[in-house]
Every structure is written in structure tokens, then in C-alpha cells.
Amino acid sequence: MKALAKWLVLLVVALVALQLFFVARIATMAVIAPQSTSFQRSEAWRISTEKGSLRWRQEWVAYSKISDNLKRAVIASEDDGFANHDGVDWDALEKAWEKNAKAEQKAATQKPAAKLAPGKPPSKPPKIVGGSTITQQLAKNLFLSGERTLLRKGQEFVLTLMLEHLLSKQRILEIYLNSVEWGEGVFGAEAAAQHYFRKPASQLSAFEAARLAVMLPRPRYYEKLPNSGYLASRAEVIAGRMGGAQLP
């Protein structure tokens, strides 16, 4: 029992030390821009391993140097309650859970029917809908892996609260827009604006900003399909919503 108690104490101490490390890292981000994120480092390794060379585009720009069009487009597309929530949009999370549950239930009912038709190709797995806020996405990209476990999700919530309490909303959005992926090896608003439109992020039009915002869930996919009909139609919808997006 003593040995078990000792290991439990060591585990608690390690967890507390890890959280304090995260607090210190986030606190420094109030004044110092992060050089890279966990997601960026994993992507750099993947690209260099698969292709033998690393093509990387990223240039940090201040919040004031990023077009308000892009800020509004990203908020309208990714997290329309960003300026007001505490890091977690519980309503959006509940809706995502309901959609995923319905999708899984539908997929389960289709499996027996698929077995009766041996020549029929296997059905696609149910699409997982996320309810993550911009702050949650930033927490995951900065520090965590892409695995889907309850432990990782729990740590994401803790990091989200840390970000919200230690950084301003404006700083959170600034770091997010400078580090989010917009294509293979393309990170941040400035690199995306130059890569897709040959102009600085400060000069993006409303429709250009909307197109970039729509790309965010699947940037590498849409990078290969710049003339996608969905991308254009969805961008029009987001452009129409931008006027109601509240900036921090």
C-alpha cells in the first residue's frame, strides 16, 4: 500500500508540475509570440519525412496588420460567440454531441443492410462534427496531439481556461490567426494571404477573407480544390454573416 500511495503522490505532483508549466508558457505568450505550436512541429516532421524537404511559409504579423475582414470571417465561420464566451461554447458543444449521436445511430442501422448486399462498397464512417471554439482550437494546436481521447479532451478544457484567464481575447485571436494552418506548410494569415492572393493580410477583401475562413476545417483539401463550388458558395454565406461578427 505504501508503494502505491507513493506512486499516486508522484503522479499528482507530476500533473501539477505539468499544469504549472502550461501556465508559465501561456503567461509568456501575453508578450512573446510562440515560435511554433505542437501541431506545426508534427506537420514539419511529417512533410520532411514524406517529401524529403520542408517547404514552410509563416510570417508573424501584429493584430493591427491583419484585416478586420479576416477576423470577422473567421469568427463568423468558426466561433460566432468568441467575444462573449468563457472559452467553451456549451450550446455549440451540445448540438455537436447530438449531431454525432444521430450520425452514429444512422450508421449503425445501415450496417446490417450493407451485409445483405455483398457487392455493395462499404459505407463511409459517420462524419464527426466539432463544437470547439477558437480558444479550444488554439489550446489543442499549441500544446496537444491530434489523438481523440477523454484525457486529451480534459487537458484541452484546462488549457482553454488558462488561455482565457491569462490572455486577452484580442491576443488569443492574434495568436490563432498567426499560427493556424491554411495549406500544406502554410501557417498564419500573412502566409495564407500571400500564398492564395499575392497580397498582405492587411489588404484582404471581405470575399477573400471569407474564402480563407471556409478553408480552415480542411485547409489541405481545399488548397488542392481552389475552384470548389462548395468553397465559393459557403464563402458567400460567411461574407453575409461578417457584419454581425463581434471583434474583441
Looking at the 3D structure of the chain, how many domains does it have?
Answer: 1
Cα torsion through 7, 11, 14, 18, rounded to 10:
170
Residue 8 lies in a domain: no
Mean pLDDT across 13-41 = 94
**For residues 122, 124, 125 and 131, what is the CA-based torsion angle, rounded to 10 degrees?**
180
Residues 128-132, mean pLDDT to the nearest whole number = 60
Residue 231 belongs to what domain range? 42-49+58-85+168-248
Cα separation, 34 vs 175, in Å, equals 8
Whether the CB-CB separation of 173 and 99 falls below 8 Å is answered with no
DSSP 146: S
In a domain, 80, yes or no: yes
Establish if 173 belongs to a structural domain: yes
Tell me whether residue 113 is in a domain: no
Q: What is the pLDDT of residue 126?
A: 43
Q: Is residue 149 part of a domain?
A: no
With a cut of 90, say whether residue 173 has pLDDT above it: yes
Q: Say if 7 falls within a structural domain.
A: no
- Alpha-carbon distance of 118 to 70, in angstroms, equals 49
Please state, in angstroms and rounded to a whole number, the distance separating the CA atoms of residues 171 and 199.
Answer: 23
Write a three-state SS string for 219-246.
HHHHHCCCCCHHHHHHHHHHHHHHHHCC
Is 209 part of any domain? yes
Q: What is the mean pLDDT of the chain?
A: 87
**Would you say residue 143 lies in a domain?**
no
Predicted confidence at residue 119, as pLDDT, reads 54
Which pLDDT belongs to residue 113? Answer: 52
The larger pLDDT score, comparing residue 92 to residue 150, is at 150
**Average pLDDT for 121-125:** 48
Q: What's 186's domain CATH number? A: 1.10.3810.10
